[in-house]
Chain A
Amino acid sequence: MPAKPSFSREIVNLLYNAETNPVESCIQCGTCSSTCPVADFMDHSPRNIIALIRADLRKPVLSSNAFWYCASCYQCTVRCPAGIDIAGMMYGLKRYSMWRDHFKKGLIGADFSRRFARMIVKNGKSFEPALATPYLFHYGLRAFLYDARNALALFVRGRLPFFPKKLKRSAKFRKILNRIIPMGRVA
């Protein structure tokens, strides 16, 4: 019977199914961080995050904004000389922190993910006006005015619907969902 796994082991367990190399094979070359287009906005660069995971520093990893800022462009994964799927790891960290309800406060990432998934399950389609409304004032008045101007321009061109479009044959869509996770009836 194996001993209680460390944090780094937990992350390896989370990514057990990945076909790429485990995070332990990182050589800390920094290619991921230098290639990352959003690294400037992260409090810990991807290279840093991997080092923190390997040092079993759970708290700084989970309270980091890095994986929520990841744009999933996969440049790090493609360029990593050690063959690690770093973007996949970022997704893994999102799942980990959401399943354990442990993430940096004030970030909209987790809340947005849940809201988005709920909307897709309910309507089968994304409806941007309802999706974005709760975060309108999150980034201050200037961002709000910027968003309002964009929304107006989209609306004028008929690109922003007032009412959500429903999926045709939504019952079938729910059946598919229930087949993927055959537990509980989908509302």
Chain B
Amino acid sequence: MSQETRLLIIDDDPDFVEGIKSILESAGYLVDAAYNPRAGLEALKAKPYDLLLLDIMMGRGAEGIMVARKLRKDPILSQIPVLIITGLREQIAFLFPGQPLHPHLLPVDELVEKPVEPQLLLEKVSALLELAAKRKAEK
């Protein structure tokens, strides 16, 4: 099933993208990448994706949040499950001393923190895909 599963990564760090891309590709997913939020949104509109992996700190600041907000407003794009991958705590740890990051920005989302364990990444991706498939079947 995962053979036809298309994933999109929006992250401005090319080294990180290469890393997670190789993990996901070795698990049989088809992976595309966009390196800034605008290119990412264009890619999402151009092609259907089954899951989005989204970074938070891009461009002028926490622009990943703006991407998430735009997705939430779009009736079609809001159905795409989103895995937020962020180094936010490391960047602005003072915001969240010792507290968990809120995992819910969107109706369907999940959050992992950088650096990401490959096994954890694959587990979260497949769990999100399953959840999205279930939601689709219920409709």
Q: Would you mind naming 22 contact pairs between A and B with Cβ atoms under 8 Å apart?
A: A2-B33, A4-B14, A5-B35, A10-B12, A13-B36, A13-B59, A14-B59, A15-B59, A16-B39, A17-B37, A17-B38, A95-B60, A99-B57, A181-B88, A181-B92, A181-B95, A183-B56, A183-B96, A184-B88, A184-B95, A185-B96, A185-B99
Interface contact B35-A13, CB-CB below 8 Å: yes
What sequence of 0s and 1s flags, for each residue 79-98 of chain B, a beta carbon within 8 Å of any chain A beta carbon? 00000001111011011110
Please classify how large the interface on chain B is, using the bins under 10, 10 to 19, 20 to 34, 35 or more: 35 or more
Instruction: Please give me the residue from chain A that is nearest to B97 by CB atom.
Output: A187
A-side contacts of B88, CB under 8 Å: 181, 183-184
B-side contacts of A180, CB under 8 Å: 62, 65
What 4 pairs between A and B have smallest CB-CB spacing? A184-B96, A118-B94, A16-B36, A13-B36
Stretch at the interface among B100-108, B115-123, B126-134: B100-108
Interface contact A187-B12, CB-CB below 8 Å: no
C-alpha gap A15/B92 in the complex (Å): 20
Does A27 touch B at the CB level, under 8 Å? no
Which of A9, A95, A184 touches B100 (beta carbons < 8 Å)? Answer: A184
B-side contacts of A157, CB under 8 Å: none
Interface residue count on the A side (C-beta < 8 Å): 29
Task: Report B's interface with A, CB cutoff 8 A.
Answer: 12-14, 17-18, 32-33, 35-39, 56-63, 65, 86-89, 91-92, 94-97, 99-102, 105, 111
Task: Report A's interface with B, CB cutoff 8 A.
Answer: 1-2, 4-5, 9-10, 13-17, 95, 98-100, 114, 117-118, 121-122, 177, 180-187
C-alpha gap A175/B108 in the complex (Å): 23
Other CB < 8 Å A-B pairs besides A182-B65, A185-B96, 7 of them? Answer: A9-B35, A13-B58, A17-B37, A17-B63, A99-B91, A181-B62, A185-B102
